[in-house]
Amino acid sequence: MIKLILLFTIIPLIELSIIFRISHVWGTLFAVTLIAATGLLGAAMTKRQGHTVLKEIKKALEQGLMPADRLIDGFLILIGGVFLITPGIITDLVGFCCIIPFTRRKIKLLAKDQFSRLIQPGKFQFTPSENQERKTINIVKDEKKNNNHV
């Protein structure tokens, strides 16, 4: 409950105060242009990175590999895109960090660590289509093996 209050009230208030401060110091036109420019740049970067990750996911699936890393990349790009279309300086910084590959790798490592704590490393079963065999995958072990081949 506290996290939702923080997310939907405190952060927007901080964002508004930053935008008002920028507007006061450099002018309203600059503040509006900054918000519009980061939104447009963010949309273009999100689209480009999203297409790249989708191609990588498709390639991994065609090779019969589980594209877990690429799925996390796609999720982070989606989150980054949402942050970038939300007006504000803090949300733009978080959004760009989720979209730029260098910083996204760092966030992905933190996310994977958090995921592994939440789900306790173990085995997951995937139910295949009719003409495929059932496969049990040790996600943590198989992902490390896939990353060593890349």
More confident site: 149 or 2:
2
Highest mean pLDDT out of 19-28, 65-74, 81-90: 19-28
Q: Cα separation of 45 and 77, whole Å?
A: 9
The residues near 104 (Cβ < 8 Å, ≥ 6 apart) are 73, 76, 77, 80, 97, 98
Contact (Cβ atoms closer than 8 angstroms) between residue 50 and residue 74: yes
pLDDT per residue over 4-51, tens digit each?
A: 787 788 888 999 999 999 999 999 999 999 999 998 999 999 999 999
The pLDDT value given to residue 150: 46
Provide the residue ranges of all domains of the chain, joining segments of one domain with +. 2-149
DSSP symbol at 121: S
The pLDDT value given to residue 139: 54
H-assigned helices in 63-132: 68-85, 89-99, 101-119
Q: Cα separation of 50 and 54, whole Å?
A: 6
Q: Distances from the Cα of 129 to the Cαs of 126, 132, 135, in angstroms?
A: 10, 6, 11
More confident site: 1 or 88:
88
The pLDDT value given to residue 133: 63
- Strands 123-126 and 135-138, sheet pairing: antiparallel
Contact (Cβ atoms closer than 8 angstroms) between residue 92 and residue 83: yes
pTM reported for the whole predicted model: 0.71
Least confident of 5-19, 96-110, 121-135: 121-135
The pLDDT value given to residue 32: 92
Q: Which two tokens stand for residue 46?
A: 């999100």
The pLDDT value given to residue 146: 53
